[in-house]
Chain A
């Protein structure tokens, strides 16, 4: 992949999507939200709960052997809210929101509808990409808080069932250790992840050339790019913002 050309292309997509903002086709936006928002919410919740449980179990590996049950809740929750919660939800969303985006735009491109749009004088970026981008970001933002909540609940459940730590102690520890900035950092990450996924998946879809195999490849590329972008952004935001909010 020619990185410079790719970056240029990406910036172009972002710029055009932004410029097209006010003239969005409202229906497309609503459709994106409905499809990605509610459908993904259930799965994101499940993933978040599982993540919470896993993180608690992992944190327990250190805290429990030293009898530090009382800080388990707080420590684990910080990790969940700042790091693993947003990360896992974003990784999973890149898989289906991103992939689905790419598959659909890929098919539209192959079927000539994208060229047809241009022929009609409409801007594909305005009509197809901008709404999807906005929809993805909004959906991720909407899912972020419920997912955080679910992750913590998952952690509580794991602590109680597997480790015998009472919920009351868990929550008390959260109260002691978790700050608002932990939640905000997580939200910031989630929104940025959403933007990255929306842009990268759209670009992959629109640059599909060929047939069914090409669509499959575009989808695979979109997932890889989204995951890498999410990881890089995660690192960047942690480094820049971490604890300084």
Chain B
């Protein structure tokens, strides 16, 4: 919240520099690879477990009330698409990428590599920050898709094989409209911009030894996470105001 101004400033500076100097595509490719590959396993494992947990939870709690947990499936998928999915995927990505980016840039900052970069004619904003921002916006929707699919699939499998219920209910988009998917994707994309922005913000500032890098890493993860939650809450407020819910 207090960092919002600083983040917007960083965004503006980065955009300016990128328009002046261009975006290094090889670094963008590397970031797509690193950010995507590092986070995908995490998202798959996390959302998979969550999907199974949803069913287990439903069985535990809902059984006494609804007899067959099949009815819980469609509303769960709806909730997953609109809220739980973006929050979980965003949360995992925020922790992973927010800390990773802050740590890497922080190590460079602390080791004076950023100043060396400037002195040799380079620009940290165009060459380091911008590729991460673009990669974030591109990668997050992919992660969201994968996470959502994994959660639904694991829910379905758990329901069918562990609880003997009709698993198909958990992948039934009966209550989930196209608008819901758009909503979820939009949130994911915006988070994809905010997370690397937060990580870069703190990483670039790290000065003063190993503990400064550690502190920057923490700050990067924390700010990314808070930004993610702010985006989710903001979207909820917006859609409530627009009566879309």
Complex: A in contact with B (CB within 8 Å):
yes
Chain A interfacial positions (CB closer than 8 Å to B):
35, 39, 43, 46-47, 50, 54, 57-59, 61-63, 65-66, 68, 75, 79, 83, 91-92, 94-97, 99-108, 110-111, 113, 211-213, 215-220, 223-224, 227-228, 231
Q: What is the interface size of chain B, counting residues whose CB is below 8 A from a CB of the partner?
A: 56
Asked if A100 meets B42 with Cβ closer than 8 Å, knowing A61-B75, A223-B95, the reply is no
Chain B interfacial positions (CB closer than 8 Å to A):
34, 38-39, 41-42, 45-46, 49, 53-54, 57-58, 61-62, 65-66, 72, 75-76, 79, 83-84, 87, 91-92, 94-96, 98-108, 110-111, 113, 209-211, 213-218, 221-222, 225-226, 229
Query: Complex formed: what's the CA distance from A213 to B101 in Å?
Result: 9
Query: Are A224 and B42 in contact, with the CB atoms below 8 A?
Result: yes
Query: Are B65 and A224 in contact, with the CB atoms below 8 A?
Result: no
Query: Complex formed: what's the CA distance from A218 to B210 in Å?
Result: 14
Asked if A215 meets B211 with Cβ closer than 8 Å, knowing A61-B76, A62-B62, A224-B41, the reply is no
Query: Complex formed: what's the CA distance from A103 to B108 in Å?
Result: 12
Query: Complex formed: what's the CA distance from A213 to B94 in Å?
Result: 18
- A61: B residues at CB distance < 8 A: 72, 75-76, 79
- B214: A residues at CB distance < 8 A: 100-101, 103-104, 107
Query: Are A103 and B225 in contact, with the CB atoms below 8 A?
Result: no
Which secondary structure characterizes the binding site on chain A? helix
Asked if A95 meets B95 with Cβ closer than 8 Å, knowing A61-B79, A63-B61, A224-B38, the reply is yes
In the assembled complex, the CB of A93 is this many whole angstroms from the nearest CB of chain B, namely 9
Query: Are B100 and A219 in contact, with the CB atoms below 8 A?
Result: yes
- B217: A residues at CB distance < 8 A: 96, 99-100, 102-104, 219
